[in-house]
Amino acid sequence: MYFAALLARTEDGWEASDTELDDVETLPDLTDLAREASVDEDTVVVYIEQEDAWFGVVRVDGEEDPRIYVSDAAAASRSSYGEILLTDELLGREPGAEDVIAALEELVGLDESEDDADDEAPAGVVVGGRTAPDDTIDTDQDTDPDAVPAGPIGDAGLLADLGLSSRALLTLRTDALAEIAEALGAAEVLESVR
């Protein structure tokens, strides 16, 4: 179960709305949605949660790049909405690295001919007095550089100037939106959309 809310700061305080993410496929889509709700290019906070698993906060200030915090990157990576927030930059990867790796793997697969595959002995079969290698056994104990880390990731201080310190944000787990809204002074307007 997902819930998303948008809090837009105005001269008179905060305006809240629940947000449909059906048409949001990328971080730029989400950023555009936030900017559309902005009043005079003021701050907009987008909150996304998957019940009892993870939550994410995106802060958009005018035309500046969005600032992102995710409470549990590994849990979010298993969610289509979480994948929107887990950009290559946030994860410390080269942009587009996954696309390059996939293209290289496809090229390697194209180079293998069926004749070569027929000439190879199945793994574990004795060939000429020796056992053919078993490619399915992973002896490499190194961690996967593309693995998504468990736990929080991103800019924990993105709400510090609005009343929620990075330490407080890092300790939030379930029902984080209520505590975030309380710190921002937006609890009442949030209740109207929840």
Q: Which pLDDT value is given to residue 139? A: 38
Of 145 and 13, more confident: 13
3-state secondary structure of 74: helix
Q: Which pLDDT value is given to residue 31? A: 95
**Model confidence at 194: pLDDT above 80:** no
Which phi and psi angles does 163 have, rounded to 5°?
115, 0
Pick the closest to residue 151 from 53, 67, 11, 81 (CA basis).
53
Q: Which pLDDT value is given to residue 9? A: 93
Query: Per residue in 100-143, pLDDT tens?
Result: 555 556 666 554 444 444 444 444 444 444 444 444 334 344 45
Query: Per residue in 61-89, pLDDT tens?
Result: 999 999 999 999 999 999 989 999 999 88
**Residue 128 CB contacts under 8 Å (≥ 6 apart), including other chains:** none
Query: Per residue in 14-60, pLDDT tens?
Result: 998 888 888 899 999 999 999 998 888 899 999 999 988 999 999 99
